[in-house]
Structure 1
Amino acid sequence: MANASGYVLDFERPLVELEKKLAALRALSASGAVEVSSELASLEKKAKKLAVEIFGSLTRWQVVQLSRHPSRPFFLDYVQHLFTDFVELCGDRHFADDRSIVGGFARFDGRPVLVLGHQKGRNTKESMERNFGMPRPEGYRKARRLMELAERFGKPILTFVDTMGAYPGMDAEERGQAEAIAVNLEVMSRLRVPIISTVIGEGGSGGALAIGVGNRVLMLENSIYSVITPEGCASILFRDAAQAPRAADALKLTAKDLSALKVLDEVVPEPLGGAHRDPAKTAEALGKALRKHLTQLADLSPEALVKDRYEKFRAFGVFSGR
């Protein structure tokens, strides 16, 4: 199923053009004016083969592009697909409400949970309202307030990461951006309820990690998680942002890479071609994964949950004798 926005990445263009021809043939076949069943079957077979060829061997830079696709499902899309009775809670009780982070209580399979995530916009107006998914300090302080509220009522926390990074503007620095992120890391490390964090698009630097300290860390198949964007890395290391594809290879930022490094607990599969081609199917796969990990964590005591989270992050990294 093609995406609805009409936005096409260069490497997926041959498939999209073929699918347009398929759609025209199907319409012709449905009208009964011409017999095209054999041509239709041949073209469908060709399209399926082409999709496997294109998306079965993506480069890291192509995965970066998919993770940023404007039609890719955002946090609130998953809320709509997976949760019921969602009630948004706003404000950090200090400065303002940051619309780039959305959170509130909802029901997952009838069970009350806190859902919290970065939210991007579909158009210029929405992107401005959501600050392009880049939170300021008040966004992270709102997240902390809601997570502590969830702990108070003994409710699991499900976070959804999708940001290029925390907003780097002067106003954010003046209000304590680094401190807000650091406090979130400390608070999440000691919360006595289950936490599952899922990277659904971009996972950029501390802006992502600020809501990413979970007992379980999941990633959608075509998402990325990195200390810096490939463009930022290329600008620093190679003095040229155009070297982003080279930087992406060096950063090893895909779900496949991070799974091999044992940073993840599960890679959630996406439909062939990316989540934007079938959001409902993607949500179904994510819901299945969340259900499984929530069930596993349900038997752990509050003390065991804190210990489990500590040991998980303590085990990251490889030490060399050199």
Structure 2
Amino acid sequence: MAAYLDFEKPFAELEAKVEDLKALSEREESPPIGEELAKLEAKAAKALADLYSNLTPWQKTQVARHPQRPHCLDFIRELIEDFTPLAGDRSFADDEAMIAGLGRFRGQAVALLGQEKGSDTETRIKHNFGMVKPEGYRKAVRIMELADRFGLPVLSFVDTAGAFPGVEAEERGQAEAIARATEAALILGVPNVAAVIGEGGSGGALGVAACNVVLMMEHAIYTVASPEASASILWRDSQRAQDAATSMKITAQDLLKFGIIDGIVPEPVGGAHRDPAAAIRAVGDAMERALTIFGGLSPDKVRSLREEKFLGIGRKA
């Protein structure tokens, strides 16, 4: 059963009643309650659908951060065959917050990039909560250059609160590393497709999301800074994160209107964490459709289409 978020409490109460009735109906001495149970299940399903059809930006932020939401490695396990991880930046170290490697996506050889947050205490520490260090972005550059050399499309799964902000990351050139990764993504002669599957935080996300096609899951967020950081900067009060989330237009629906992303991938009712398998399939289908656009195009044409896309953001038609 999914863990409930604060705003889901009314639905949680309904679902608890449904579970109680189910347990009662399974008893031998139970009176016939099938009709009542069916009505309550329908009421709970409608309540969940109504709730998720009108989420606020802050509520979407909570859904995007849900601990049971599928992460990068979940997508790779379900969508990629023969995945071979590649480690290290050939300069300093391997960064396990940045997943990189080669594999086959629905019969096509591809290169893979993505931030992994981890799913429990041990893996979250291992992957540094998805916050990538300079060596992670330099590893991404290495993989993108390899993909370009061998004509492999690049798929990116974006899910990070932001690049790692520690002193050691700054000492090793964090800003330069992100800039190099962004540049590498922009000059690729092969198509690249990114999917924001949870949080798309700041330059930490952009380093692997400067792609021909940028998709977002329905309840993901993509933002210049986290709502908490923005509230601290604007109002010197991180408790105003909800106000910041609303003001910054961080939802997929807003960003599609602005032309910053190219498509929204619908999620199962109640969010991707309620049916991860269906959510992952939907992202895979959307990525497959995106890749077909570039079939047979020359490297120069792929680059020019990407250039036109990014230069067109913010311009009036």
TM bracket (short chain): over 0.9
State the distance in 2 between where 1:282 and 1:122 align. Answer: 17
State the distance in 1 between where 2:239 and 2:131 align. Answer: 23
Structure 1: gaps of 5 or more residues: none
Tell me the equivalent position of 2:241: 244
Deviation at 1:26, TM superposition (A): 2.6
Map residues 117-132 of structure 1 onto 2, 5 A cutoff: 117-132=114-129
Tell me the equivalent position of 2:25: 29
Letter of the 1:184 counterpart: A
Tell me the equivalent position of 1:303: 300
Letter of the 2:149 counterpart: R
2:12 counterpart (10, 16, 35): 16
Aligned positions, number: 315
Identity %, equivalent residues: 50
Could you say what secondary structure the match of 1:297 adopts? coil
Could you say what secondary structure the match of 1:200 adopts? strand
The answer on 1:50 being equivalent to 2:84 is: no
Tell me the equivalent position of 1:157: 154
Greater displacement, 87-96 / 182-191: 182-191
Deviation at 1:31, TM superposition (A): 4.7
Q: TM-score, normalised by structure 2?
A: 0.96
Structure 2: gaps of 5 or more residues: none
Deviation at 1:129, TM superposition (A): 1.1
Letter of the 1:118 counterpart: Q
Greater displacement, 240-249 / 9-18: 9-18
The answer on 1:148 being equivalent to 2:141 is: no
Could you say what secondary structure the match of 1:81 adopts? helix
State the distance in 2 between where 1:139 and 1:16 align. Answer: 40
1:134 counterpart (131, 134, 137): 131
Tell me the equivalent position of 2:210: 213
Measured against aligned partners, the alpha-carbon deviations of 1:170-222 in whole angstroms (never above 9, x if no partner) come to: 10001000110111111111111010011000001100000011100000000
Tell me the equivalent position of 1:188: 185
Deviation at 1:32, TM superposition (A): 4.7
Letter of the 2:17 counterpart: K
Letter of the 2:287 counterpart: L
Could you say what secondary structure the match of 2:279 adopts? helix
Could you say what secondary structure the match of 1:298 adopts? coil
Tell me the equivalent position of 2:254: 257
Deviation at 1:36, TM superposition (A): 1.4
Q: TM-score, normalised by structure 1?
A: 0.95
State the distance in 2 between where 1:183 and 1:12 align. Answer: 41
Measured against aligned partners, the alpha-carbon deviations of 1:233-271 in whole angstroms (never above 9, x if no partner) come to: 111111111111101111000000101111111100001
Runs (4+) of structure 1 exceeding 6 A deviation are none
State the distance in 2 between where 1:12 and 1:276 align. Answer: 13
